Structure 1
Amino acid sequence: FKDGSAPDTSAAGVRALVAARTHLAASEVTDVLWSSDFRPRAALADRFRDGRIFLAGDAAHVHSPAGGQGLNTSVQDAYNLGWKLGQVLRHDAPAALLDTYEQERRPVAAEMLGLSTRIHRGEAGRGAATRQLGLGYREGPLSTGAAGALRAGDRAPDGPLPDGTTLFDTLRGPHFTLLVVGTDAELPPLDPELVRVRELDAYAPYGKGVFLVRPDGYVGWAGDDARGLAEWLRGVGASVARYA
């Protein structure tokens, strides 16, 4: 309890609590078969990587069950780390790419841990933040540039496509996606297995520009044209030079 007193888990204590917090009378609680004192645990690892060891999900952060932020954050950890491991192990990306996992994910986990704790204590309510659709990495080490309505680090917006599919359908998978929106910018040579290109008419959630979307659905690089794109791709193991 907030006053520091220990909860009364006896049958009488449970009846009194139910009567105080619900529309039921104490006498309507006829049997108490089992009761316990639940105390949530909140914890955040000091670091998410130590050499070849990586922490993700509940190994990295433990949340109150209020709202499900712990599960959502854990799934995001896994995807963030997964695509980076794939690039290093299969596509010769610099090993330093793995350091960006902690740099991007630990601040997100810390923020969600604080939010879920406040919700559990009744100090905050559920809202847009608990849905986690506004999370991003604008200040992260892999975010470069801006164009149209977006900055690198933003979550890539969805939208309908003329063939009846959606942008999220295009993004789905372990590949990078280069969206060329409302421009005829000249592109560097790209490996189609690693980077899939989709040209679109100008679209309000994006505006106009060139947007490189990471496998986890976040804009990694953005620009009015493609200058600087090749350098960014080399840094994540999607080098264009060897495919030219």
Structure 2
Amino acid sequence: MRALVAARTHLTAGDITEVRWSSDFRPRAALADRFRDGRVYLAGDAAHVHSPAGGQGLNTSVQDAYNLGWKLGQVLRHGAPVSLLDSYEQERRPVAAYMLGLPTRIHRGEQERGAAAQQLGLGYHEGPLSVGRAGALHSGDRAPDGPTTGGRRLFDVFRGPHFTLLAVGTDTGLPAFDGDGGQVLVHRTGACEAYGKGLFLVRPDGYIGWAGEDASELARHVPRFGLAPVTPC
């Protein structure tokens, strides 16, 4: 302890004369068997706990809350099918299970912090809401940032509780959403390497819910999100 304090602070080793209080730290890892039981939902530390060594607790909890929050909003306010709420556990529990092991390995010194700890590469490819692919991306990917034709950033376009229908590098016709009450922002932009070419329906939590080369299949999939049917291009 003297060597550590001397190396990290203005104090010298001789300034440390005694330890007046100490305690043992024992990491605990736990994962709830399910994140939903009827009308009861678990999120954050109520659903999963792990060693703080990786620093993912807050990020994972906030992602839980946003994932569940927009789905509750669509069901309660916009008539989405109740089955949309089932996707909360189906999407988030595998992520929590993966993150449970990472901090444990970091705590034990078996793995160093790296890109995995940033959680920017997490996705829902195997989730029930992921349909289609276009360009460089699959449905279920986290929608990347990038410049837009109008000089804004894509993250600025996505920011908010709305869905975004994003057309990248294509002049294909874009549908109108009937009576959606502003739930869907339609945005067209030029080529973007991170996306390639295609149409991407970006969910409120920033993940791609549908992707395709044109809008012909879009009308079949939007009702599960509580979005109004689309008017053909």
Contact 1:188–1:240 (Cα < 8 Å) also in 2? no
User: 2:182 and 2:110 mapped to 1: Cα distance?
Assistant: 48
SS of residue paired to 1:158 = coil
Q: CA deviation at 1:117?
A: 0.8
SS of residue paired to 2:215 = coil
Q: CA deviation at 1:33?
A: 2.2
1:37 aligns with 2:24: yes
Correspondent of 1:166 among 145, 153, 159: 153
In the other structure, the counterpart of 1:149 is 136
SS of residue paired to 1:203 = coil
User: 2:220 and 2:103 mapped to 1: Cα distance?
Assistant: 39
In the other structure, the counterpart of 1:231 is 220
When Rg is computed on C-alpha atoms for both structures, the one with the higher figure is 1
User: 1:209 and 1:162 mapped to 2: Cα distance?
Assistant: 15
Correspondent of 1:71 among 58, 62, 78: 58
1:216 aligns with 2:205: yes
Correspondent of 1:51 among 4, 25, 38: 38
The root-mean-square deviation of aligned C-alpha atoms, in Å, is 2.0
User: 2:173 and 2:77 mapped to 1: Cα distance?
Assistant: 28
Q: CA deviation at 1:240?
A: 1.6
In the other structure, the counterpart of 1:116 is 103
Per-residue Cα deviation, 1:40-79 (whole angstroms, up to 9, x for no partner): 1111000000000000000000011113111110000000
Q: CA deviation at 1:241?
A: 5.7
Per-residue Cα deviation, 1:73-98 (whole angstroms, up to 9, x for no partner): 00000000000000000000000000
TM-score by length of 1: 0.87
Q: CA deviation at 1:118?
A: 0.7
Report the count of equivalent residues.
Answer: 226
Contact 1:188–1:230 (Cα < 8 Å) also in 2? no
SS of residue paired to 1:144 = coil
User: 1:229 and 1:163 mapped to 2: Cα distance?
Assistant: 25
Q: CA deviation at 1:21?
A: 7.2
Q: Using the TM superposition, name which of 103-112 and 20-29 deviates more.
A: 20-29
User: 2:155 and 2:181 mapped to 1: Cα distance?
Assistant: 18
Return 5+ residue gaps in structure 2 as ranges: none
Q: Using the TM superposition, name which of 179-188 and 209-218 deviates more.
A: 179-188
Percent sequence identity over aligned pairs: 70
Return 5+ residue gaps in structure 1 as ranges: 1-17
* One-letter code aligned to 2:192: Y
Contact 1:181–1:202 (Cα < 8 Å) also in 2? yes
1:93 aligns with 2:80: yes
Distance 1:162 1:181, change over 3 A: closer
1:136 aligns with 2:127: no
User: 1:26 and 1:174 mapped to 2: Cα distance?
Assistant: 54
SS of residue paired to 1:101 = helix
